[in-house]
Amino acid sequence: MSAGEELLAARRIVVKVGSSSVSGENAGQIATLVGSLARLYTAGAEVILVSSGAIATGVPFLRLEERPDDLATQQAAAAVGQNILVNRYQRALSSHDIIAGQVLLTAHDMENPTHRDNARRALERLLQLGTLPIINENDTVATHEIRFGDNDRLAALVARLIGADQLVLLSDVDALYTAPPTTVGARRIERVPYGDELQGIQIGEAQSGWGTGGARTKVEAARLATDAGTAVLLTETRLLPAVLDGADHGTRFAAAG
């Protein structure tokens, strides 16, 4: 069965998209991404989107030229950008008659049993009501010491929290390679069996100026999800429609059990 067939047959899916895929000159990809989410939704899946991009979206509206280094300005950019980002998603979703529900989480929410149960209950109810929850880290109140560090980990924790069948990690890289993709001789890794430690594989860090993760964080997130029985697909945002059509793109991580 192809990755696309597995996704279209899934009961519950978490899709994570990185900042560089939905902000700046790539903000136009939101409509394409939402088209794929709507296709999964129409096929009968419960879909949750974990979206980065609040800070990157807010920066130009604050007339800043680059990502701020200080926490206070990052929080301000997130406050402005989150509003604009979700509005863009809702405009795209409205053409498919889908309503979004915004959920902002901190690392503390996932570590505290009471907060975690509240988050699970809210997400379950949003799904029951037919909405498409859009989750992001609550950058406006999170501090450097208590952040998830990247939304790949957050997406994996959400997948575990709600018992997702599939986790899709989308970025500006089409797959996991045996070395950084620009390295001569690097080969795409099509499948990673459960428990494979990927010995000898050179796993790189984030390359864009906006995202906080890279291939390493995605592999760590994939392991976190697969340990809980969630299969993982890592691929490029613009390739998701082709994957749903049956194309062989990305890297698939097998789940435990």
What is the pLDDT at residue 143? 62
Residues at the annotated binding site for ATP?
Answer: 16, 171-172
3 state DSSP class of 159: helix
The set of residues, in sequence order, having a beta carbon less than 8 Å from that of 192 and lying 6+ positions away, is: 176, 198, 222, 251, 252, 253, 254
Of 257 and 47, more confident: 47
Residues at the annotated binding site for substrate?
Answer: 52, 139, 151
Place of tokens 């993709």: 181
Average pLDDT over residues 31-36: 98
On the 0-12 / 13-18 / 19+ scale of CB atoms within 10 A, 179 is middle
Indicate left, alpha or beta for 137 from its phi (over 0: left) and psi (-120 to 50: alpha): beta
- Residue 133: φ, ψ to 5°: -65, 135
The 10s digit of each residue's pLDDT in 2-14 is 999 999 999 999 9
Residues at the annotated binding site?
Answer: 16, 52, 139, 151, 171-172
Q: What is the DSSP annotation of 22-82?
A: HSGGGTTHHHHHHHHHHHHHHTT-EEEEEE--HHHHHTGGGT-SS--SSHHHHHHHHHHHH
What is the pLDDT at residue 210? 38
Q: With 70 as the cut, is the pLDDT of residue 35 above it?
A: yes
The residue range of the domain holding 67 is: 3-253
Nearest one of 247, 254, 244, 252 to 41, comparing CA atoms: 244
CATH number of domain containing 74:
3.40.1160.10
pTM (two decimals) = 0.92
What is the pLDDT at residue 104? 93
Domain count within the chain: 1
Of 87 and 75, more confident: 87
Mean residue pLDDT of the chain comes to 90
Contact 172, 235 (CB under 8 A): no
